[in-house]
Structure 1
Amino acid sequence: MTTTDINTAQAVRKTRRMPAEVNILLVLVGIALLFEILGWIFQGQSFLGNMARLKIMILQVSVIGIIAVGVTQTIITGGIDLSSGSLVGAVAMVSMSLAQTGAYGLDRVLYPGLTDLPVIIPVAVGLLVGLAAGFVNGWLIAYTKIPPFIATLGMMVAARGFAKWYTKGAPISFPTESFAFIGSGMMPVLIFVIVAVIFYILMKYTRYGKFTYAIGANEVAARVSGINVERQKVKIYMVAGLLSGLAAIVVAARGQTAQAGMGLMYELDAIAMAVIGGTSLTGGRGSILGTAIGMVIFGVIISGFTFLRLDAYYQEMMKGVIIVAAVIVDTYRQKKGSKS
């Protein structure tokens, strides 16, 4: 067989290969059917037939899914963001303090004649806090060459400390009706869908997405081709911080309270969703659609464990197993891809 024949055969194999999202979707269907079978065997009832359970499941994971959209972009560049969970706690405290009703707000105590602030103010301030934290992460990673793991780890500790300091550890509650509306009903799911669609388009059809993938695939080559790598990294981490801030606002509005401990372990759940969805931890590969499917897989697994009445401690252990298994699959896929 000639070299031309070999290249032709490889090209045919690549064209026949299904998109990664299709494989992930098939995994989702398989896992859902598995829990359906186990439900009838051990519980005598349907897992998929209970719409109330599925609604709760999608509501629970949609907030972390918003974070996962931003985390996916940092991982595609070969980086990571460990600060997103702590940013949820910090932004939630700040936003809720500005969204309280007149009878409870600290600013009303200092200025008794002040009326409730328009909902745009706590939302805008919360998003700006997340954006600023993301800028610090990106600047440290891009311009001081600190590894993303260390830079975002430092932000994780600092943001959690800020959340505790902001009100001396006291929770903040009683938001205005307009702020609470952000987390009411299926609004968190709608917000996630809007975010996912926007960044799916940006990552697939714009220079922002092409530059992000280029940096993850080969940073040196991206720099030689004229991409401002440092500026792009700052943008990506700012987006991740912004989406963490948005998730904080949604979760605070949904619970109508904010506590310094909010968002604990959200960063690991978001990373798990991205990795399950096919995002490679070595960078250069991943998609927002894959992360969205990974989010649903993650939710189905956790909801399925709860449905089967598996102890919460075992659920946490299984999360770790799922993450490790996803990384092993990704490593195998990369080796297989390099051979083909």
Structure 2
Amino acid sequence: MSQTQAPSQLDLERPPDARGTLRSRLAGSGGAFAGLGVLFVVLSLTTPGFFSVNNFLNILDQVTVLAIIAVGATMVIIAGGIDLSVGSVLALSTMVLGWLSHAGGLPTWLAIFAAIAVGGLCGLINGLGVTVAKLPPFIATLAMLSVARGLANLITDGQQIVGYPDWFFRLSSSGFLGFLSVTTVVMVLAFIIGGLYLRYRPGGRSLYAIGGGKEVARLAGIKVRRIVTMTYVWTGLLAGVAGVVLATRLDSSQPSAGTALELDVIAAVVIGGASLSGGTGRMAGTIAGVLIMGILRNGLNLLGVSPFMQQIFIGVVIALAVMADILRQRNK
């Protein structure tokens, strides 16, 4: 009788075969890049003002918040989990930043670190809820969604906090290296670090094994509980970073920030080729998914489409992305 062999720790530490073709390295995300290309061409031909350097830079600035969170969400989904709380954690972090720097009297730079730490704490609670309390990820993060949003409103009784130092606002409004804002550079660094971690670090490779089967991964010597918990922590930290980035863009902190953002994040990751059942996904695909979401919203705005109609379009995109994921699993 044949027996399934668990992957060894050496297999997980060995980097992917460098001889693999581009197609194999981008497996599961090729469709996303093809869709991105088609969307780009169609909007370039039909939308006045779309095909310009200034508009492309504007798209990059607009997707920074979504992209930074999507880096962490990619890892969570690869590991077979899901995080519905990222939008609310973002809101809580940005409100902590505003309250500490205004009412609390802390220097803004110190309030930034505190806000990011609050995001990490929320991620830790999510991770422990999944690994220690054995709650389904959907339930654990859904509870955090409600708690974090409530705390975000409680801090200032639902009022926004307005006005930050000029240097803080310039992080997202001034060009770095002549054309990129500091917040855009942060987004790029997040993708680079996330991609390198998934491809070359044992912990990143372990996420695929965990998503493929937690018990098999445990038998292979992988510390499943610790790695899954830390994955949620990193996602929370990135949500905190995204909250700071959003505050720089708006020059304010708003308790309603990030409402329904988790849907866009999940859509971007799934569009990029990640599977909601775990074990599949690449950071390159997530980049394509994020750009599809950003370009789609930008194009609809330039075409003068109503925000309510835009919600319908995005909803259809999310449904199609999940359907594509289901079809991929069936084909396997």
- SS at the partner of 2:84? coil
Which residue is equivalent to 1:127? 116
> Is structure 2 residue 34 aligned with structure 1 residue 37?
no
In 2, Cα distance between equivalents of 1:228 and 1:16? 31
What is residue 275 of structure 2 aligned with on the other side?
A: 280
- 1:70 Cα deviation after fit: 0.7
Q: Residues of 1 paired with 2:212 and 2:300: CA distance? A: 37
The separation in 1 between residues aligned to 2:107 and 2:171, in whole angstroms, is 13
2:313 paired residue number: 318
Corresponding position: 1:47 with 2:42: no
Which letter does structure 2 place at the counterpart of 1:269? Answer: D
Contact 1:119 1:178 in 2 (8 A): no
Is 1:218 the equivalent of 2:218?
no
1:87·1:156 contact (CA, 8 Å) conserved in 2?
yes
1:131–1:242 CA contact under 8 A, matched in 2? yes
SS at match of 1:145: coil
Cα distance in 1, alignment partners of residues 284 and 252 from structure 2: 31
AA in 2 matched with 1:59: D
Kindly state the Cα deviation for residue 258 of structure 1 after the two structures are TM-superposed.
0.5
Name the structure 2 match of 1:199.
194
Counterpart residue type for residue 69 of structure 1 = V
**Number of the residue aligned with 1:163:** 152
- Alpha-carbon distance in structure 2 between the residues aligned to 1:312 and 1:210: 40
CA contact (8 A) 2:99 2:155 kept: no
What is residue 3 of structure 1 aligned with on the other side? Answer: none
Residue pair 1:183, 1:255 contacting (<8 A) in 2 also: no
Coordinate RMSD, CA, aligned: 1.8
C-alpha distance in 1, partners of 2:196/2:249?
A: 28
Matched, 1:140 2:140: no
> Unpaired segments of 5 or more residues in structure 2?
1-19, 175-180
1:56 aligned residue: 58
For 2:223 and 2:147, how far apart are their aligned partners in 1? 29
Partner of 1:79: 81
Kindly provide the amino acid, as one letter, of the partner of residue 271 in structure 2: I
Percent identity over paired residues: 35
Give secondary structure in 1 for the equivalent of 2:63: helix
SS in structure 2 of the partner of residue 107 of structure 1? coil
Q: Determine which structure has more spread, i.e. the larger CA radius of gyration.
A: 1
The answer on whether the counterparts of 1:62 and 1:192 sit within 8 Å (CA) in structure 2 is yes
Displacement, 1:175?
1.6
Does 2:252 align with 1:257? Answer: yes
- Tell me the TM-score normalised to structure 2 length: 0.87
The one-letter code sitting in structure 2 at the alignment partner of 1:170 is Q
Deviation at 1:16, TM superposition (A): 9.3
Asked if residue 95 in structure 1 is aligned to residue 85 in structure 2, the reply is no
1:36-64 alpha-carbon deviations (Å, 9 max, x no partner) = 2333xxxxx3532x333322222111111
- Deviation string 1:281-322 (CA, Å, 9 cap, x unpaired) is 110000111111111111111111222222211110111110
Q: Is 1:107 paired with 2:104?
A: yes
On the 8 A contact 1:140/1:151 being kept in 2, the answer is yes
Contact 2:49–2:302 (8 Å) recurs in 1:
no
Asked if the contact 2:172/2:184 (under 8 Å) is kept, the reply is no
* Distance (Å, rounded) in 2 between the aligned partners of 1:246 and 1:209: 21
Closer, same or farther: CA 255–139 of 1 in aligned 2, 3 Å: same
CA deviation after TM superposition for structure 1 residue 75, in Å = 0.8
1:68 maps to which of 67, 70, 87: 70
> Are the equivalent residues in 2 in contact too, given 1:88–1:247 (CA < 8 A)?
yes
> What is the CA deviation profile of residues 221-266 of structure 1, one whole-angstrom value per residue up to 9, with x for unaligned ones?
1011111111111100000000000000110122111111111111
In the alignment, the residues of structure 2 paired with residue 155 and residue 134 of structure 1 have an alpha-carbon distance, to the nearest angstrom, of: 9
**Structure 1: runs of 5+ lacking an equivalent:** 1-13, 40-44, 100-104, 109-116
What secondary structure sits across from 1:282 in the alignment? coil
Scaled by the length of structure 1, the TM-score of the pair is 0.85
Name the residue aligned to 2:297.
Answer: 302
1:35 and 1:47 in contact (8 A); partners too: yes
Q: Amino acid of the residue matched to residue 98 of structure 2?
A: M
Task: Kindly tell me the number of residue pairs found equivalent between the two proteins.
Answer: 305
Contact preservation (8 Å) 2:194, 2:283: yes
Work out whether residues 88 and 145 of structure 2, in 8 Å CA contact, stay in contact via their aligned partners in 1. Answer: yes
Give, as a single letter, the amino acid of the residue that structure 1 aligns with 2:157. Answer: K
